[in-house]
Amino acid sequence: MHIATRRLLIRPLTPLDYQVVHQMETDPAVAGQWRHGGRTLSPEEFVSRLWGEVMLQSVVTRRADGQVAGLVTVYRADERNGTAFISALSATSFVGSGLTVEAVGAVVHHLFTSGRFRKFYLDVFSSNLPQFAGALSQVIFEVGRLRDDKRINGSWVDRIYLEIDRDLWLEEMGAYMARWLVPTS
């Protein structure tokens, strides 16, 4: 599956991408907040865990220069009930650029319009919540919170569960996304 916006190309993760994904995941700026909690894995364990419970994994590249900006993952898919979790990781040089959040929107829209899913959930630490500020209470809603769930950089942070509902997404974002996405070749 390839998805494109004016600024991004979102394409399937391949073994050729493993090194750059490993670098993103082990970057000291994010390692404690990501999948492995700062733990160093062997190359074999890294690849095995990279694909555990994953339905879709896409590399986000900037169209202007092909530079990898991040990774979007759809995991723990429950197709019977039309739900899945979605996560995103930005390369350090792209943190705060909005590119990875844009990629999440493109993937969410693609999967919602395919009719397979009705809800996506995000598992976010409170320290990462500001990046969703523009969409919170518009199309993304908090549905659960575990207070002081994890210690990151010496401080306890909450684990927050967010929800994106298909009907609300399509009502609020459908026309915008139709203009924002571009055909891929």
60-108 confidence digits (pLDDT tens) = 999 999 999 999 999 999 989 999 999 998 888 888 888 888 999 999 9
User: Would you state the pLDDT for residue 34?
Assistant: 60
Residues in the chain: 185
The domain limits of the chain are 3-182
DSSP letter for 136, please: B
Return the CATH class of domain 3-182: alpha beta
Tell me the residue ranges of DSSP E strands in the chain. 3-5, 8-12, 54-62, 68-78, 83-90, 119-125, 140-152, 155-165, 181-182
147-162 confidence digits (pLDDT tens) = 998 887 788 999 999 9
Tell me how far apart the alpha carbons of residues 158 and 103 are, in angstroms, rounded to a whole number: 25
Q: What is the mean pLDDT of the chain?
A: 87
pTM score of the predicted model: 0.88
Place of tokens 């899913």: 117
